[in-house]
Amino acid sequence: MPFKVLKNIALLSGAALALSGAAAADPDDNKLIIDGEEIATDAAAPEGSPFDRLYSGWRFRTSETQDLQADDFENPGFAAITLGEELWDTVEGSEGKSCASCHGDVSEGMKGVRANMPKWSEAAGKPQTLENHINTCRTDRMGADAWKWESEEMLAMTALVGLQSRGMPTSVQTDGPMQEWWEKGKDLYYTRVGQLDMACANCHEANFGKMIRADHLSQGQINGFPVYRLKWGGLGSIHRRFKGCMENVRAEPFKRGSDEFIALELYVASRGEGLSVETPSVRN
């Protein structure tokens, strides 16, 4: 049998064994308290959810990783917050404006914004992520260049904006013009892809809590993005995580900002309805 075929069989068998043989671990009972405020890391599952209860990925992490997120001085994601604050007040583009020119103080102007993303845009005729909204402001209102999806500037700004919603419950629109996109995202979530023939649901629904690659699988909630992953050594977007998951199952990933990933982001966000925004969260 050709080596490539043997290798693919080994990959398929290894993935199946890793999940089927792994011991499950319940989420811990620790409380995430930051500056005296408790952040909801569990919530009642919304109607139609496949879960009995929702749990943030924070509840599946090691105590050392949890401690990093619980202290803003220790949270490595806060280096990006400092940059984001500088960018917020920086005048750029042909219109001579900064973010603050239109939105004022970030703590007031951006409060609650992250909790409702993605959000329908009449102008675009489709849902827009936080990254989309930021670049629309830059190009249409400031006359500045758009930032790349995973650029240092974009991650800093999404982290800063997200921080203003920390502690607020996530809630996205799924009816009206969003319904078609939500259904598309749901279909993507349950579609098996790649050499390993796996869907998002195979890990984050059927096997959450099990150990794989020296880490516990979570429910795949996205309420903490952009997230500082110790593995990455920096912040990363939701779409970077989606791309990484697809690559892990040996599938051809969609592009960051693609309609497919926007639809998937909407659906996954709806699965976490009621969990608090944790931005910037820390994960293994």
Query: Active-site residue numbers?
Result: 245
Annotated binding site: 99, 102-103, 137, 200, 203-204, 241, 245
Strand extents, DSSP E, the chain? 32-34, 37-39, 42-44, 53-55, 119-121, 126-128, 211-212, 215-216, 227-229, 234-236, 281-283
Annotated binding site for substrate: 241
Annotated binding site for heme c: 99, 102-103, 137, 200, 203-204, 245
Written as one string, the DSSP assignment of 179-198 is: HHHHHHHHHHHH--BTTTTB
Strand extents, DSSP E, 162-280? 211-212, 215-216, 227-229, 234-236
What is the C-alpha to C-alpha distance for residues 138 and 97, in angstroms, rounded to an integer?
Answer: 9
Q: Which two tokens stand for residue 276?
A: 């608090």
What is the C-alpha to C-alpha distance for residues 266 and 186, in angstroms, rounded to an integer?
Answer: 9
What is the C-alpha to C-alpha distance for residues 46 and 87, in angstroms, rounded to an integer?
Answer: 37
What is the C-alpha to C-alpha distance for residues 229 and 77, in angstroms, rounded to an integer?
Answer: 9
